[in-house]
Amino acid sequence: MTKYILSIAIILSLFSCSKSDDPAPDNSDIHKGGIFILNEGNYSVANSSLSYYYPDVDTILNSLFYKKNNVPLGDIAQSITIFNDMVYIVVNNSGLIYIIDNTSLEFEGKISNLTSPREILILDNEKAYVSDLYNNSVTIINPITFEKTGSINVGKSTDCLVSYGDFVFAANWSALNGQGINNTIRVIDTKTNLLSDTIIVGLEPNSMKIDKNGHLWVLCSGGYLNEELPTLWKINPVNLSVIQTLTFGDITHNPINLCINSTGDSLFFINTNIYRMSITDTEIPENSFISASENTFYTMDIDPNSGELYVSDALDYNQNGLIYRYNSSGKLVTFFEAGIIPGCIYFNY
């Protein structure tokens, strides 16, 4: 969650109601070519849900995890990834990862007793890393047996994870655990499973991407209380040198959700509106690519095949949110209703 949304979501959840009518069981399978939408739900209410959208027929299926497995998804569904036809769903406040089949959506297993997991990065058949909001270690798991096999003490909490070569970069987004200033990227050597280095960036690094030239981009919001100007960093992931730092012009800005297109040459991010820039640009763009208008953009991702943008709107954080679908030129194609606080968007191609 972003620095503003985290507080709002917690407050609103205190007044939210539990779902009165659970969806009826559904035995139909899904197929590849659609898009998973993970709906976070309200904090401590355990009303997260899983949706699936077919862009070719403009059809959304909601509450699929419950329909398939007759159990709720849990408390704050944070992120999702697919590996070997298995879907790994990280449920943050429940402290677990569910694993389901990517077509039948039936339960295959779970990894539990995690502190506050945020993302899972699967490296191969034997190793995956899990970042954690309240734990100063990255957990190592076996993605096939679903067993925890170790941990890596990185000294700070971690959030988004990116791999490049033999190294994994872990963003220290939050300072909630009190382990110093949250302005670092922890560098983990995957051969030794040890912390090998640290990159100093701006406050609150919230998202990272690798471009077509192999450069690491890091978007920093500037801190929960707007302590400093937001920044966008271009880093050499081999020697860890900073190539370029771009600074936003307003300390009240809150840029989040850095994305990159399939060709790796254009960056996108949310800063109330949606902005697009080339990886060769030397300044933060002033003009928006897509105007939010009356919408409140929450998360987004880019279809690797069509280049379309899927952007979520959490509305009032209590009712079902919306997903806006824009073509590669930024024109609205359609919009549809998902679940409560639609967050992570993942393409099942």
DSSP 142-199: ETTTTEEEEEEE-SS----EEEETTEEEEE----TT-SS-S-EEEEEETTTTEEEEEE
Above 70 in pLDDT, residue 3? no
CATH architecture of structural domain 3-17+29-348: 7 Propeller (2.130)
**For residue range 27-83, what is the model confidence (pLDDT) as tens digits?**
567 999 999 999 999 999 999 999 999 999 999 999 999 999 999 999 999 999 999
Q: Which two tokens stand for residue 247?
A: 């600074």
Q: Indicate the SS3 state at residue 281.
A: coil
pLDDT of residue 157: 94
Higher-pLDDT residue of 171 and 178 is 171
Is the pLDDT score of 296 beyond 50?
Answer: yes
Residue 176 has what pLDDT? Answer: 78
180 confidence band (pLDDT: 50, 70, 90) = confident
The fraction of the chain above a pLDDT of 70, given in percent, is: 91
Instruction: Name the strand (E) or helix (H) holding 83.
Output: strand 77-83
Instruction: Round the average pLDDT of the chain to a whole number and report it.
Output: 92
Burial class (CB in 10 A: 0-12, 13-18, 19+), 293: exposed
d(CA 71, CA 112): 16
